Amino acid sequence: MTTTKYIFITGGVTSSLGKGIISASLAKLLQARGYAVTIQKLDPYINVDPGTLNPYEHGECYVTVDGAETDLDLGHYERFLSVPTTQANNVTTGRIYQSVINKERRGDYLGKTVQVVPHITDEIKRRIKLLGTQHKFDVVITEIGGTVGDIESLPYIEAVRQLKYELGSSNSLVIHLTLVPYLAATGELKTKPTQHSVKALLENGVQPDILVLRTEKSLSDDIRKKVGLFCNVDVSSVIESIDVSTIYEVPLAMQKEKLDVTVLKKLQLPVSDAPKLTEWKEFLKKLKNPKREVTIGLVGKYVELPDAYKSIIESFIHAGARNECKVNLKLIHSEEINESNFLEKLAPLQGILVAPGFGERGIEGKILAVKYARENGIPYFGICLGMQVAVVEFARNVLGFANAHSTEMVRSTPYPVIDLMEQQKGVTEKGGTMRLGAYPCNIKEKTKVFSAYGKIETSERHRHRYEFNNEYLCDFEKAGMIAAGINPETNLVEIMENTKHPWFVGVQFHPEYSSNVLNPHPLFVDFVKAVIQYSESKK
């Protein structure tokens, strides 16, 4: 194939309609037909990346192998496609303006007035095309964040208008995702918001080629015809996206609606036989027919917004299906766990995970959860901060290091068992300066994590500033808490494992970023297995 084809996905009527899932589902179908596909997210906010955003603002910050801090939709893309994304897959308005302003300061614009059109739109177009030209994909799907009509998304819509014209109709198309609300009082589905949203797009010079309509109830032929008529779209390009029980069902729902075939025909690409989705369907079958059920507590401080833990939640879905087990994940606020109520909060759990996080709030609740898991032989999985609090708890309660802590929380602690990384000591700027992206990790043989991975060398993604303080490693190992994974280049501790416990593992990295439907992360799979064993031993 010589030319890359570009698909733009816009959203109308309301936010949160699931543009990311529709993008990922279409990409999955095209991939299953043999095309090399990638998905890009354009975010209209002014932060350069979401790394500096509080999880309450924007949900989880997803980290790519190359160390980009990105939108959580990139997690969906990877979970659906099993192909890594990179910095190029997520672009924000902040990043666009930063490049344009840097160019202006260098004098690259040769005395011209720098304007939204053409300079900002040119930079947007350059970033969209980069994925096709540099990374050689057959199809690039670009999801435009926000909702049509927002002031912030205007330059993006304008860039789409220009690109559609430049690339031509066989090389580009626009899919517009909207909502068809159901009015219970009259028992009707309403198409007016969709009509208005398409009008808003038309006012900006963009005619959508395909409409995907989110709906609670099935759309009649009449409704499809009506929408097609009002929006200048042929009826076969009006696609229903009805609510389904899991996001992983959406590719099959889109296949049923022939979204992939419609797209390929419009882009004048060959339509092969059916997409190859055997493994995907196998996963869905296991997901929907679990043989057992367990309850795992996810202890964190952003639990009011489950999106803050998106990748962890999805990793349990993948690992649960692999174990043919339904994992009921209970989100527990660490600030609400204290000495007088921890039993009541934690006793119903068969496994405990302490989540990543930053700062002091809720830290003692996390330490109590670790202590309870360690003392009662309950499978424990600590991720990033969850590993660090496991180390602090062990130092205090097993090694007898009173007031041991991470220097992130108490700078003057007498036992800084978790300390700032050497390379972080001169860092003053917050944005993009953590230890980010994939680093190698060597696993020690004869450990539980080794039997989970089944290999010595692995690579995992990171996002942190603090680390295990190696000065204390001998004390920990003598007492049975060993470094089961080490960075071979720097000797940083990547995994701690308590050898005196049925399954107690803390990892400095983020396994949740690399778990996907077809390759669930081995540590999540093994943790769920340990939780099943624990719950069966209690029967």
Task: State the Cα–Cα distance between residues 348 and 351, nearest whole angstrom.
Answer: 9
Cβ-based nearer residue to ligand GLN, 466 or 504: 466
Q: Smallest distance, Å, CB 431 to ligand GLN?
A: 14
Question: Among 78, 384, 408, 460, which one carries the catalytic annotation?
Answer: 384
Cβ-based nearer residue to ligand GLN, 69 or 314: 69
Question: Among 231, 464, 512, 521, which one carries the catalytic annotation?
Answer: 512
Q: Smallest distance, Å, CB 461 to ligand GLN?
A: 10
Cβ-based nearer residue to ligand GLN, 384 or 398: 384
Q: Smallest distance, Å, CB 90 to ligand GLN?
A: 18
For residue 41, the cross-strand partners are 90, 143
Q: Smallest distance, Å, CB 220 to ligand GLN?
A: 49
Task: State the Cα–Cα distance between residues 151 and 143, nearest whole angstrom.
Answer: 17
Task: State the Cα–Cα distance between residues 455 and 237, nearest whole angstrom.
Answer: 48
Task: State the Cα–Cα distance between residues 372 and 239, nearest whole angstrom.
Answer: 51
Q: Smallest distance, Å, CB 355 to ligand GLN?
A: 8
Is 441 noted as a catalytic residue in this protein? no
Cβ-based nearer residue to ligand GLN, 148 or 436: 436
Is 510 noted as a catalytic residue in this protein? yes
Closest CA to 475 of 415, 524, 431, 516: 415
Cβ-based nearer residue to ligand GLN, 167 or 385: 385
E strands in 57-113: 62-63, 69-70, 90-92
Task: State the Cα–Cα distance between residues 43 and 80, nearest whole angstrom.
Answer: 20
Is 512 noted as a catalytic residue in this protein? yes
Three-class SS state of 495:
strand
Question: Among 119, 318, 510, 521, which one carries the catalytic annotation?
Answer: 510
Structure tokens at 111: 């005395």
Contact assessment for residue 26 and residue 80, using Cβ atoms and an 8 Å cutoff: no
Place of tokens 């080490």: 486
Q: At CA 484, angle to CA 482 and CA 489, rounded to 5? A: 115
Task: State the Cα–Cα distance between residues 480 and 374, nearest whole angstrom.
Answer: 12
Asked if the bond preceding 356 is cis, omega within 30° of 0, the reply is no
Cβ-based nearer residue to ligand GLN, 135 or 465: 465
Q: Smallest distance, Å, CB 408 to ligand GLN?
A: 5
Task: State the Cα–Cα distance between residues 38 and 76, nearest whole angstrom.
Answer: 12
Task: State the Cα–Cα distance between residues 108 and 15, nearest whole angstrom.
Answer: 37
Which residues sit at the interface with ligand GLN, rule CB under 6 A?
356-358, 384-385, 408, 463-466
Which sequence positions are flagged as catalytic? 384, 510, 512
